[in-house]
């Protein structure tokens, strides 16, 4: 059983469990570091993403392709999912929880649908789930993505374009935060903005920098996170910029950018 070792790493721990089934011994942390995950940022519409939120085949294949593996994804409608799983090899998919979607590995059907449930080693949570059809229907989206591993010809991956794009996105993210934080908003507007704007640098960015050994910079972002949470725990009146130092956010983000840029010259896997 491969456990989670960093925040929200369920999909990367699920990958490690899939890989263990084909004789590849690795961990979520090793996959993340070897594919350069701490230095990767993306944007989906007006939502900024980093670290463990980069969890599709496009990103996983940065690690798989040089190793002669490939992930492919198949979308299945919920009403056809159980029939599909009964005849499926192990695949990764997402189950809905009260805290958001959680990646699991479907193992087999033997009267119940058995899943590996990636957890932290000391969480006390079940590492294997057995669900019936009704439970699966209740815990999945209308369309479910099944992620499969296949063998493929090894292929070199050039990370330079990803890193250059990440530099651009970090700066866009800071600009979006500055605009948002400089204006007053209805108190209800802040919670949706947490994942959309603040998560990449003030949550996932912290865990990624810590994973990469950049603890001093992670500490700067942790202080900024503390200011954000202080504001959110209050009545959320006034402007967030009165509490959250935008100059320090910009400076810390530029330090992060320099770390990304330093890797561009060595960005081939």
Q: What is the CATH number of the domain that holds 101?
A: 3.90.70.10
Burial of 157: CB neighbours in 10 Å, binned 0-12, 13-18, 19+: middle
Q: Model pTM?
A: 0.94
Q: pLDDT for 84-131, tens place per residue?
A: 999 999 999 999 998 889 999 999 999 999 999 999 999 999 999 999
* Domain C-terminal end among 151, 184, 218: 151
Whether 75 maps to a domain, the answer reads: yes
If asked whether residues 140 and 241 sit together in one domain, one would say no
Q: What is the pLDDT of residues 17-63, one digit of tens each?
A: 999 999 999 999 999 999 999 999 999 999 999 999 999 999 999 99
Neighbours of 136 (CB within 10 A): 20
Confidence of residue 265 (pLDDT cuts 50, 70, 90): confident
Domain span holding position 211: 160-266
pLDDT value at residue 72: 97
Q: Is residue 192 part of a domain?
A: yes
Whether 109 and 23 map to the same domain: the answer is yes
Confidence of residue 266 (pLDDT cuts 50, 70, 90): low
Q: Is residue 1 part of a domain?
A: no
Of 131, 151, 171, the residue that ends a domain is: 151
Among 81, 116, 151, the domain boundary falls at 151
The verdict on 25 and 134 lying in the same domain is yes
- Quick: pLDDT tens for 147-180: 999 999 999 999 999 999 999 999 999 999 999 9
- Pair (167, 226) in one structural domain: yes
pLDDT of the residue at 91: 98
Regarding whether 262 and 173 lie in a shared domain, the answer is yes
* Angle separating helix axes 246-261 and 160-181, nearest 10 degrees: 180
pLDDT the model gives residue 268: 53
Residue 140: is its pLDDT beyond 60? yes
**CA distances (Å), origin 200, targets 83, 89, 208:** 37, 34, 10
Shared domain for 185 and 146, answered yes or no, is no
pLDDT of 267 reads: 58
Answer for the pair 35, 187: CB distance below 8 angstroms, yes or no: no
């Amino acid at each position: 059983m491969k456990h989670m070792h960093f925040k929200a790493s369920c999909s990367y721990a699920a990958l490690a469990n899939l890989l263990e089934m084909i004789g590849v011994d690795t961990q979520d942390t090793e996959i993340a570091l070897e594919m350069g995950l701490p230095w990767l940022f993306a944007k989906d519409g007006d939502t900024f993403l980093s670290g463990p939120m980069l969890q599709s085949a496009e990103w996983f294949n940065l690690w798989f392709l040089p190793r002669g593996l490939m992930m492919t994804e198949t979308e299945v409608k919920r009403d056809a999912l159980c029939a599909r799983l009964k005849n499926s090899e192990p695949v990764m998919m997402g189950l809905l929880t009260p805290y958001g979607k959680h990646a699991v590995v479907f193992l087999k059907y033997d009267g119940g649908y058995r899943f590996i449930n990636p957890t932290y080693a000391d969480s006390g949570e079940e590492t294997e789930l057995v669900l019936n059809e009704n439970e699966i229907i209740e815990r999945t989206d209308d369309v479910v993505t099944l992620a499969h591993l296949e063998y493929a010809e090894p292929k070199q991956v050039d990370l330079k374009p990803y890193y250059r794009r990440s530099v651009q996105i970090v700066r866009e993210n800071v600009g979006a935060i500055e605009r948002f934080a400089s204006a007053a908003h209805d108190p209800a507007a802040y919670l949706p903005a947490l994942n959309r704007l603040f998560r990449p640098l003030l949550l996932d960015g912290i865990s990624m920098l810590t994973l990469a050994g950049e603890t001093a910079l992670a500490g700067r972002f942790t202080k900024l996170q503390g200011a954000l949470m202080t504001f959110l725990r209050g009545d959320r009146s006034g402007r967030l910029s009165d509490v959250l130092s935008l100059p320090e956010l910009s400076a810390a983000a530029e330090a992060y950018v320099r770390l990304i840029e330093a890797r561009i010259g060595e960005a081939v896997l």
